[in-house]
Amino acid sequence: MKKTFVLVVLFVLPIVAYLFFASGVTNFGRLSILTEEVLEIPTIEDGAVFNDKITILGFLGNNVETRKGNAFNLNQKIYKRFHEFNDFQFIMVLPIGTEDTVVDLKKELSNLADTDKWNFVFLDNDTIQRLFKSLNTNFELGKDLGSPYVFIVDKDRKLRGRLEDEDEGLKYGYNTNSVADLNNKMVDDVKIILAEYRMARKENDITRKN
């Protein structure tokens, strides 16, 4: 019996552990695609376009003052952790005419971190609504053209999220009012998509070398 137990510990358990972790890589190695084609932003502000960037997309709306807390949460929990990745950016969409209201927000954010990858894009109301609608989520844009939710858009303009979130089922976006949502879910999902692209880059390098 002792010999059998030792053999199980030495040979069977490592195999079971390997299969478990291999299954985990397969199941959680990619962030699910929820929408195939998000509308491209029609204007370029400081290079703020979706293609070839992993984008955190947000809608600050007409009253930036009421969204400052959301921006600070996002800055502290997500931006500061990931902003050093070259192909990572933030795009915050606002209505044309709110340009001056962003000045103070930029200054306050710059006191907390380097804000080079915070991009603020100003669009007409109809374009903002069409952009939000193209995400095809279960959320609605507020009357102020703002939302507490932010979204992960990949380099091919695909909305990424969770198909089977334990709390929400389909998880399209992340609530910037909730530090727990940013800490417990968005951090993990951003890690996954960054790792996904790093892995793809490594595979391409290996293929070219061969």
pLDDT confidence of residue 113: 79
Residue 103 has a pLDDT of 92
- Report the CATH number that the domain containing residue 122 is assigned in CATH: 3.40.30.10
The pLDDT of residue 206: 56
Same domain, 25 and 103: no
Q: Give the list of residues 6+ apart from residue 182 with CB closer than 8 angstroms, or none.
A: 73, 74, 77, 78, 174, 175, 176
DSSP secondary structure letter of residue 192 = H
Domain range for 11: 1-30
Q: Are residues 25 and 39 in the same domain?
A: no
- Check whether residue 23 and residue 43 sit in a common domain: no
Give the total number of structural domains in the chain.
2
Per-residue pLDDT of the chain (210 residues; tens, 9 = 90+): 555 554 544 555 454 443 333 433 334 478 999 999 999 987 665 566 887 899 999 999 999 999 999 999 999 999 999 999 989 999 999 999 999 999 999 999 988 878 899 999 999 999 999 999 999 999 999 999 999 999 999 999 999 999 999 999 999 999 999 999 999 999 999 999 999 988 876 655 555 555
Asked whether residue 3 falls in the same domain as residue 74, the answer is no
Q: Can you give the pLDDT at residue 115?
A: 87
Residue 135 corresponds to which tokens in the numbers above?
A: 């995400």
Which are the contacts of 131, defined by CB distance < 8 A and separation ≥ 6?
38, 39, 41, 93, 123
The helix (run of H) or strand (run of E) holding residue 80 is helix 80-82
pLDDT at site 155 = 94
Cα dist. 31→25, 144, 188, 204 in Å?
11, 30, 10, 20
Rounded CA separation 12/29 (Å): 25
Q: Give the separation between CA 128 and CA 150, rounded to whole angstroms.
A: 14
Confidence (pLDDT) at 69? 95
For residue 94, the tally of other CB atoms under 10 A from its CB is 23
Among 134, 136, 151, 184, CA closest to 59: 151
Let me know whether 15 and 36 are in one domain: no
- 18 plus 36 within the same structural domain: no
Same domain, 21 and 121: no
- Enter the tokens of residue 4: 């059998």
CB-based burial of residue 4 (10 Å sphere; 0-12 exposed, 13-18 middle, 19+ buried)?
exposed
Judge if 13 and 57 occupy the same domain. Answer: no
Beta-ladder partners of 58: 92, 150
pLDDT at position 200: 72
